[in-house]
Structure 1
Amino acid sequence: MRSQPQCTVIIPTYNRARLLGLTLASLTRQSLPGDSFEVVVVDDGSSDETAAVVDEYRDRLRLQYFFQPDEGFRAAAARNTGIRHAGGGVCVFADSGMLLHGDFVRAHLDAHAAPGGPVAVVGYNYGHKQDASGTWALEDELDVDDPSGTIGRLAGRPQWRDIREPFWAKYGDEFHHLPAPWLVFWAGNISVPTEQLHRVGLFDEAFRSWGGEDLDLGYRLHRAGVPIVLSRAATAVHLPHDKSEAANESAANGNYRYMAGKYGTPITRLLPLFPAINPFTMNDWIRDLALPSCAEYLDRGPAGAGAEVGAAAGAGAVAARADR
């Protein structure tokens, strides 16, 4: 009888068979024994060779595959399927098209084993740009058969560093004390104790277009008292693929409005002001506007809400300033 896996790596995917294959291949090269973790691939209705690619790895990975009909963008639902079938005590999320360092799984587990109680871990992504036009040159830097060596080389190339680096340069790697640390909680490379995911209610499946469902989960974890921490050792390369910054921003804007209305706090009401407000400096806006934390605001109740609502509404005028 197989022992329980230490963690479950959950990969949602849609029509990225080639990229998924590279992600799965990098999971076969992990420094942890292959039986110590499981992989759950959840297919959001692909019409390409995704299922066949998964079959190629069944004898090399402890692998489960689930298919959900193509009913539009349902990444949140796909991830939730993975969580519900997870046998590991930690869920590690990786997007298809992530080339994972050989210590990727080990680094996530090490972050959760550190003293201090449960945490939500943000990994480090090389090569992630908002628009595909800036990423295709990365292909010349890649050796897909040697992810760890590739990442070692990219570490010395500033142009490929994680695009959240300005956030960490400003606030430091220990940023969980900020009023909105969840702004960098991006689901392409994160991990959370499985029990904590169930406690906060998993991903919100009302997010039906690109963007925001990971911030929403990070927000609820933060509100539940789970620190969000960075693991620079949990590294991956975001492989180039077709995408559009303008299309993604348009899709995400509706999701930010939904999240702002869902929680109704002065901090969350800043979200629809992206990108006029840079999310990497939004914690400064919160400070400059003297906004209460979400917990403080909700504890005050309707009687104390007026001033904070006014301050948040005034942020739109402030956002016309040159971005910092």
Structure 2
Amino acid sequence: MSQEPEAGIVVPSYRGAERLPVLFDALAAQTPSSPAFEAVVVIDGIDDGSVALVEAERRFPVRHVLFPENRGRVAALNAGFAESRAQVLIRCDDDLVPGPDYVRGHVEAHRGAPCGMVGLYLNTSPASRYREVYGRHADESLRAGAYAEPSRAWRYWAGNCSLTRETWERIGPYDPRYRLYGWEDVDYGYRLHRAGIPVRLDPALETEHRVAAVTTAGRAQRAAHAGAARRLFEHLHGTAVLPPAVPPLSPWNALVRGASRVVGRDPRAWGSRVDRLLGRVPRPVATKLVALTVEAAGVAGYRAPDSAREVF
């Protein structure tokens, strides 16, 4: 490969020693005609063997940035984007498994006018009752909704996206005020959109994602954190650009609002209770229980005054 990479793959990683080998194998298997690329792995404060993995990799150019302490995903992303020498900057989370045309697809997207390019996740996880009754359908619904609203593609800026260095320097880094789980991505996508830079979804860039939230407990905890982080987004950008966080009244939404007062006390604990029930109740009931818990956790996180103080 050339010493001057056209693409820079930025990999934020926290305790990623078990995930990085799979990612490295996928990057090493890029088609021979792929543009020259480098990878920058930002190890976020804990070296669990990740440094040795990076230093041992010889199949493609890769180096690391090691934080002396955990600083969070936003800091890791900003450090990686600043470190890369490439003209096309690709964010690739360490739990992705890119296909052989991954680098070429992202680079080709930037041959014309400036844009932000997004490949949606194809979430994979071990078979489980949670995935059977909720996880798979939720993933499919998200992708279908994303493609149905191309004008709102900026909402799906996440762990598989790219832009040029020129665009990065114009928009600036990810906002370090996002400290909880989620919304630093939506914030960045919206900043691109607001600057007149179109954000596009490319089905050819859909990428396998070894999803971390594989239980109701894990999904509910993330929903609560994301609900709280949304408060910061609204503080910065207003409430008009998104559907309301607290759903309008309907029989189901009234149930979600009521459940949020209970689930919000400990979303993970309530999610664990639901997980224990999933194998004992009919599938339609199990699906509703998971949906109610996740949606209620999101509303609770959004409403919680302590969470609001945390993000501001």
Q: Count how many residue pairs are aligned between Structure 1 and Structure 2.
A: 239
Q: Is the 8 A contact 1:164 1:184 kept in 2?
A: no
Q: Using the TM superposition, give the Cα deviation of residue 258 of structure 1 relative to its aligned residue in structure 2, in angstroms.
A: 0.6
Counterpart amino acid of residue 216 in structure 1: D
Seen in structure 2, the aligned counterparts of structure 1 residues 102 and 33 have a Cα distance that, compared at 3 Å, is: same
Report whether the alignment pairs 1:165 with 2:143: yes
Report whether the alignment pairs 1:181 with 2:153: yes
Distance 2:138 2:223 in 1: 22
Distance 1:184 1:231 in 2: 12
Identity %: 28
Provide Cα deviations, 1:53-108, integer angstroms capped at 9, x if missing partner: 21221x21211200113335x11110111111121111111111111100111111
Provide Cα deviations, 1:272-308, integer angstroms capped at 9, x if missing partner: 43xx48xxxxxxxxxxxxxxxxxxxxxxxxxxxxxxx
Distance 2:95 2:15 in 1: 11
Counterpart amino acid of residue 67 in structure 2: Q
Distance 1:261 1:63 in 2: 38
Seen in structure 2, the aligned counterparts of structure 1 residues 32 and 253 have a Cα distance that, compared at 3 Å, is: farther
Q: Is the 8 A contact 2:34 2:103 kept in 1?
A: no
Aligned with 1:227 (options 198, 201, 209): 198
Residue ranges of structure 1 left out of the alignment (5+ in a row): 129-134, 139-157, 278-315, 317-324
Q: Is the 8 A contact 1:39 1:64 kept in 2?
A: yes
Seen in structure 2, the aligned counterparts of structure 1 residues 120 and 32 have a Cα distance that, compared at 3 Å, is: farther
Seen in structure 2, the aligned counterparts of structure 1 residues 227 and 99 have a Cα distance that, compared at 3 Å, is: same
Q: Using the TM superposition, give the Cα deviation of residue 247 of structure 1 relative to its aligned residue in structure 2, in angstroms.
A: 1.1
Q: Using the TM superposition, give the Cα deviation of residue 236 of structure 1 relative to its aligned residue in structure 2, in angstroms.
A: 1.7
Q: Is the 8 A contact 1:6 1:88 kept in 2?
A: yes
Matches within 5 A, 1:103-122: 103-113=101-111, 115=112, 117-122=113-118
Matches within 5 A, 1:54-65: 54-57=54-57, 59-65=58-64
Seen in structure 2, the aligned counterparts of structure 1 residues 163 and 36 have a Cα distance that, compared at 3 Å, is: farther
Q: Identify the structure with the greater helix proportion.
A: 2
Matching residue of 1:137: 127
Aligned with 2:120 (options 115, 118, 124): 124
Distance 2:220 2:120 in 1: 24
Counterpart amino acid of residue 202 in structure 2: S
TM-score (norm 1): 0.67
Residue ranges of structure 2 left out of the alignment (5+ in a row): 129-135, 249-298, 300-312
Matching residue of 1:287: none
Distance 1:237 1:2 in 2: 28
Matching residue of 1:148: none
Distance 2:212 2:153 in 1: 28
Seen in structure 2, the aligned counterparts of structure 1 residues 81 and 211 have a Cα distance that, compared at 3 Å, is: same
Matching residue of 1:84: 82
Distance 1:271 1:42 in 2: 35
Q: Using the TM superposition, give the Cα deviation of residue 162 of structure 1 relative to its aligned residue in structure 2, in angstroms.
A: 5.4
Distance 1:216 1:205 in 2: 11
SS, match of residue 137 in structure 1: coil
Report whether the alignment pairs 1:259 with 2:233: yes
Distance 1:253 1:161 in 2: 19
Q: Using the TM superposition, give the Cα deviation of residue 10 of structure 1 relative to its aligned residue in structure 2, in angstroms.
A: 0.4
